[in-house]
Amino acid sequence: MKKQHLSALLLASFLLLMPLALQAQEAAATDQEAPAATQPSKHFSFGVLGGLDRNYHIIDMSYMDAYSYTPFAPGKSYGLQLGYSPWKWLTFRLDGVMLDKNYYRDHTLTNYGGFYPDTTTNQYLNVPLVVMLNVGNTVRLHLFGGVYGGYWLSSHRKGRTMAVFGSPEYDVDVDLDSPLSQRRDNRKDFGYTYGAGLSAIFAKMIELGVEIRWYYGIYDIQKEYMTNLNPRYNTTMVLQAGLNFWL
């Protein structure tokens, strides 16, 4: 099964499971005496988060099989989060995250003994909006899913190329504002985001948690400047920790 289909299946699974969990929550509430703590109460939260990510650059090189793309060393992710919980089991969360979507490429010439690797580091601003299902009290399990919008902020390439006239080494900032990049690169990003996490609440207002999340981009990172264009996407897995303050 392709990775992107697996990711989508997980999202769908969450959505399928969500109503069952909701029903379980309601059943637990109705089976017990209703303490004052389960009364609907509106809570706002804000916090910070940070972690590491691993990006999969989805690209089909067809007959250009001397090239291959693989994830690079972990990128970083950090940002802010805002939450709103109309009920204890439900949270709407909006994040603003600086996220790396890096990849490694090598150009291997098997018949000629040449090996030309390079890395591209990309920084994005991603703004995901998710619906979180929370299970538990002091220690909570979260399942979440939603959408994100994003913007490609910067790009840097470093490596070796098969040079004909001079040095093979290069280490350059890609100018995303150049005329070429403006024709080719789609700086807007959009897709789905989903995942799961675990958190613990202290003193009724501080929440410390970890989560694993996927960003599944559905925008091609290229503009449609030609008819016969092979699409390119990013799927990014993030492992991050967060510190939240409940108001």
Partner 1 sequence: MTNRYFSINKSMALGLVLLLFATSCRKEPLEIQNPNTRACNSYSEQFEAIWQGIDHTYTLWSHDTINWDARYVKYKPIFESFDQNGVDSATYVNTWKEFTYGFIDHHMAIVLWNPVHKFLVGISPSRNDYGHPSGYKEQVDALKLQPGISNLVEYNGSNSKYTKSIFCLLPGKTADKHIAYLRFSDFELGSTDSIPNEVLLPFKAFYGDSIGLGILNGAADRADVESIIIDLRANPGGSIININHLILSLAQNPYHYGYSRYKEGLGRLDYTGWMPVQFPLPKYHLSSPKPIVVLADINSASCAEMSTQILRDAMGATVIGERTMGATCSLLPSTDVAFDLFYSGCFGDYKIYKEKKPTHPDQFAYYVYSSTYDIVLKDYTSLEGKGVQPDIEVLFDLNSLNAGRDNQLDRALQFLRTGN
Number of residues lying near partner 1 (CB under 8 A): 55
Q: Determine if 111 is a binding residue for partner 1 (CB under 8 A).
A: yes
Cα gap 91→131, rounded to integer Å? 6
Exposure string of 43-71, with b = 16+ CB inside 10 Å and e = fewer, is eebebebebebbbbbbbeeeeeebeebeb
| Interface residue with partner 1, options 34, 37, 226, 247 (CB under 8 A) | 226
Binding window for partner 1 (CB under 8 A); candidates: 29-37, 45-53, 78-86, 222-230? 222-230
Taking CB under 8 A as the criterion, the residue among 37, 167, 177, 203 binding partner 1 is 167
Nearer to partner 1, 49 or 143 (CB): 143
How far is 178 from 160, CA to CA, in rounded Å? 22
State which of positions 189-208 bind partner 1 (CB under 8 A). 192
Cα distances (angstroms) measured from residue 188 to each of 69, 85, 119, 124, 217: 22, 29, 22, 9, 10
**Tokens found for residue 238:** 């993030």
Q: Which of 133, 120, 58, 129 is nearest to 88 (CA)?
A: 133
Counting contacts by CB under 8 A, is residue 60 touching partner 1? yes
Spatial contact of 102 and 124, defined as CB atoms under 8 Å apart: no
Give the binding range for partner 1 (CB under 8 A) out of 42-50, 87-95, 176-184, 203-211.
176-184
Pick between residue 174 and residue 243 the one whose CB is nearest to partner 1. 174
Cβ atoms of 176 and 155 within 8 Å: the answer is yes
Q: Does 24 bind partner 1 (CB under 8 A)?
A: no
Q: Contact positions toward partner 1, by CB under 8 A?
A: 4-5, 7-9, 11-13, 15-16, 18-20, 23, 58-64, 66-67, 107, 109, 111-112, 157, 161-168, 170, 172, 174, 180, 183-184, 192, 216, 218, 220, 222, 225-231, 233
